[in-house]
């Protein structure tokens, strides 16, 4: 081979190596961004789920205070007053089945005998059923609790009052003062800065929401996430940090620098500020804040991915040194230099790429499955396991899109439990909940897989039937009505709960909106109420 040809071959090899290096370089930047984005999605979903839960519990609490008569919780009888310390607690639940289903309620003074203060105690105990369900599904949650302006707290999971009990100092803690009327007149649910847990689970951040009885501040509902739990969520092959509203590090993954800083924070309540991020000059702080959300940008000797977490004051920052990208790119480019001599290195490179692709695909599948779990939690009613309004409207939109092609008739049935308030007033809200669950089960028995049952609100249920004649729909509604009329639910003290329902039926008309069609069923339902209840009325017959 001539000298010129050798030079040309050398130039060709160098060109191929250079082109492959550039491709590897930008590919690793994209992989870094995708990995960071997947962790941002997990954090965002956790925040969204916690926010939605707190919103529902806040609405539940404020509605609870509006109820005229509340039956005492069975746990109230276990509250014990301690004259020596002028306190009370739920220690009697310890070591029993109640311990699995309830938190420990501790407070100052005597147990309220009656009035709004006793109602508030019942609210705190009623929260236990929701605390248990939510805590069991999401392991990163440390505590769920309600702290009252009336000097008591109910904390789940159950912890002995010897280890943690209400103290007046709690009302000066971050989770409480952050959302009290003086600091939070808008009554928003807010995340606190990181602090050391007084119940012994290390450093954590808290989502707190104020509870009001109309305009009277009653207390604070709180959800705790440990900083170690947040660190596990952002666990990655890249260096990652979660910053709070004070630009302090509240979580870092196993690849973060200076892990001793995090341990120091856990032991001594010292916050690691943003400017001590490893190798991050003080002058680059403003540049970090100015990075566009969801993008990868180079600052100094690092590539940075930054994202502001929705519905929280947090910012997630992932970082990879440019030198790391260069070294990895060079390492993967090197086999090209000897591709003509060592084919094995090329095959090994291909195998590494395939392995990386499988790992990315597996991560995507896990993220998709997790996303589906969170979507299901947002679309269904906790109590009856039927669609909530959001879930029903999403499903109905899907059916409407299909209906434009198939022209399948749709019929809506709106049902309301007759005199439902009487169950709550006479037997308590747990009895009312039982009636709702049993009726929901009956409704679900009478529909097919492509039809839907929705808890429309309170004691109202909405059914969507497809491809049925008017006579078939009326017969189904009548069968449901009759089955509910014959339903007998055994209750406490040999009491039998019975209920009836009134139904309004309306055929769906495409020229009208969804809400207008539901209003037709509602008018038919109202007519049934006026005619004596416990009957089926068709809108077409009005």
The CATH number of the domain holding residue 481 is 3.30.70.270
Residue 132 falls within a domain, yes or no?
yes
Average pLDDT, rounded, for the chain? 86
* Within-domain flag for 35: yes
Q: Is 162 exposed, middle or buried (0-12, 13-18, 19+ CB in 10 A)?
A: exposed
- pLDDT higher than threshold 60 for residue 1: no
Determine the Cα–Cα distance for residues 301 and 328; give it in Å rounded to an integer: 15
Instruction: Specify whether 348 is located in the same domain as 433.
Output: no
Does 435 share its domain with 450?
A: yes
The last residue of one of the domains, among 186, 218, 250, is 218
Residue that terminates a domain, selected from 334, 355, 376 = 376
Residues 71 and 182 in one domain: yes
Given this model, what pLDDT does residue 246 score? 79
Task: Give the model's confidence band at 400: pLDDT under 50 very low, under 70 low, under 90 confident, else very high.
Answer: confident
Shared domain for 308 and 451, answered yes or no, is no
pLDDT higher than threshold 60 for residue 253: yes
Per-residue pLDDT at 163 exceeds 60: yes
Same domain, 74 and 179: yes
Cis peptide before 262 (omega within 30 of 0): no
**Cβ atoms 416, 469 nearer than 8 A:** no
For residue 331, being part of any structural domain is answered with yes
- pLDDT interval class at 251 (50, 70, 90): confident
What confidence tens digit (pLDDT) does each residue in 308-341 have?
A: 998 999 989 999 999 988 888 888 887 776 775 5
Compute the distance between CA of residue 109 and CA of residue 497 in angstroms, rounded to an integer.
38
Residues 9 and 116 placed together within one structural domain of the fold: no
- Asked if the structure places residue 381 within a domain, the reply is no
The number of domains in the chain is 3
- pLDDT: is 394 or 367 the higher one? 394
Q: What count of residues does the chain have?
A: 542
Instruction: Measure the CA–CA gap between 300 and 444, rounded to whole angstroms.
Output: 61
Please, is 62 exposed, middle or buried when counting C-beta atoms within 10 Å of its C-beta (0-12, 13-18, 19+)?
middle
Q: Give per-residue pLDDT as tens, 185-200.
A: 999 999 998 888 877 7
pLDDT band at 279 (very low <50, low <70, confident <90, very high): low
Q: Which residues contact 454 (CB under 8 A, 6 or more apart)?
A: 381, 386, 387, 388, 389, 391, 392, 461, 462, 463, 464
Last residue of one domain, picked from the residues 336, 355, 376:
376
Q: In whole angstroms, how far apart are CA 299 and each of 27, 290, 307, 387?
A: 19, 11, 15, 48
Q: Are residues 344 and 422 in the same domain?
A: no
- Token pair in block for residue 162: 């010897």
- Residue with the bigger pLDDT between 65 and 344: it is 65
Claim to verify: residue 353 and residue 460 sit in the same structural domain: no
State whether 520 and 421 are in the same domain: yes
> Which range among 12-26, 162-176, 383-397, 456-470 shows the weakest confidence by mean pLDDT?
12-26
The mean pLDDT value for 250-277 works out to 51
Domain that holds residue 182: 49-218
Q: Mark residue 515 as left, alpha or beta (left: phi above 0; alpha: psi -120 to 50; beta: remaining).
A: alpha
Reduced to 3 states, what is the DSSP secondary structure of residue 388?
coil
Has residue 260 got a pLDDT over 50? Answer: no
Q: Is residue 437 part of a domain?
A: yes
Do 102 and 32 share a structural domain? no
More reliable by pLDDT, 106 or 9: 106
Strands 410-417 and 452-457, how do they pair? Answer: unpaired
In a domain, 224, yes or no: no
Interatomic CA distance for residues 130 and 402, integer angstroms? 36
Do 369 and 449 lie in a common domain? no
- For residues 64 and 92, state if they share a domain: yes
- Token pair, residue 322, equals 């440019």
CA atoms within 13 A on the CB side of 441: 8
Q: Which of 83, 131, 86 lies closest to 104, judged by CA?
A: 131
């Amino acid at each position: 081979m001539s000298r010129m040809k050798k030079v040309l071959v050398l130039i060709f090899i160098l060109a191929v190596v250079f082109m492959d290096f550039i491709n590897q370089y930008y590919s690793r930047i994209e992989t870094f961004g995708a990995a960071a984005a997947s962790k941002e999605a997990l954090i965002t979903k956790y925040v969204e789920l916690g926010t939605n839960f707190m919103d529902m519990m806040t609405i539940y609490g404020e509605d609870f205070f509006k109820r005229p008569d509340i039956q005492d919780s069975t746990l109230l009888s276990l509250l014990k007053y301690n004259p020596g310390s002028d306190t009370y607690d739920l220690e009697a639940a310890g070591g029993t089945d109640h311990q699995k289903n309830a938190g420990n309620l501790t407070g100052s003074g005597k147990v309220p005998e009656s009035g709004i203060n006793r109602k508030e105690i019942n609210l705190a105990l009623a929260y236990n059923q929701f605390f248990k369900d939510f805590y069991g599904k999401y392991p990163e949650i440390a505590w769920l609790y309600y702290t009252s302006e009336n000097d008591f707290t109910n904390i789940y999971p159950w912890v002995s009052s010897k280890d943690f009990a209400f103290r007046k100092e709690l009302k000066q803690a971050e989770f409480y003062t952050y959302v009290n009327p003086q600091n939070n007149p808008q009554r928003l649910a807010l995340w606190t800065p990181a602090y050391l847990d007084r119940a012994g689970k290390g450093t954590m951040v808290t989502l707190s929401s104020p509870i009001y009885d109309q305009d009277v501040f009653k207390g604070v509902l709180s959800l705790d996430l440990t900083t170690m739990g947040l660190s596990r969520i952002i666990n990655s092959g890249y260096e990652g940090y979660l910053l709070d509203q004070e630009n302090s590090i509240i979580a870092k993954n196993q690849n973060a620098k200076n892990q001793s800083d995090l341990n120091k924070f856990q032991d001594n309540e010292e916050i690691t500020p943003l400017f001590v991020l490893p190798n991050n000059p003080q002058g680059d702080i403003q540049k970090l804040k100015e990075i566009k959300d969801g993008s990868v940008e180079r600052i100094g000797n690092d590539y940075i991915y930054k994202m502001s977490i929705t519905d929280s004051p947090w910012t997630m920052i992932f970082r990879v040194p440019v030198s790391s990208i260069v070294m990895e790119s060079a390492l993967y480019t090197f086999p090209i230099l000897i591709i003509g001599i060592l084919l094995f290195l090329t095959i090994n490179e291909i195998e590494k790429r395939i392995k990386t692709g499988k790992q990315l695909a597996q991560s995507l599948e896990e993220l998709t499955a997790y996303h589906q779990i969170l979507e299901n939690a947002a679309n269904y009613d906790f109590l009856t396991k039927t669609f909530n309004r959001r879930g029903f409207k999403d499903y109905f939109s899907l059916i409407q899109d299909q209906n434009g092609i198939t022209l399948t008739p749709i019929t809506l049935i709106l049902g309301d439990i007759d005199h439902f308030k009487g169950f709550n007033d006479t037997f308590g809200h747990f009895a009312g909940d039982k009636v709702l669950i049993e009726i929901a089960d009956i409704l679900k028995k009478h529909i097919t897989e492509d039809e839907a049952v929705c808890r429309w609100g309170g004691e109202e249920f909405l059914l969507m039937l497809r491809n049925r004649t008017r006579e078939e729909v009326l017969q189904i509604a009548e069968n449901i009505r009759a089955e509910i009329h014959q339903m007998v639910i055994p209750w406490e003290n040999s009491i039998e709960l019975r209920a009836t329902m009134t139904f309004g039926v309306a055929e769906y008309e495409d020229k009208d909106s969804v809400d207008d069609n539901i209003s037709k069923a509602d008018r038919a339902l109202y007519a049934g109420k006026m005619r004596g209840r416990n009957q089926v009325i068709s809108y077409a017959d009005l």
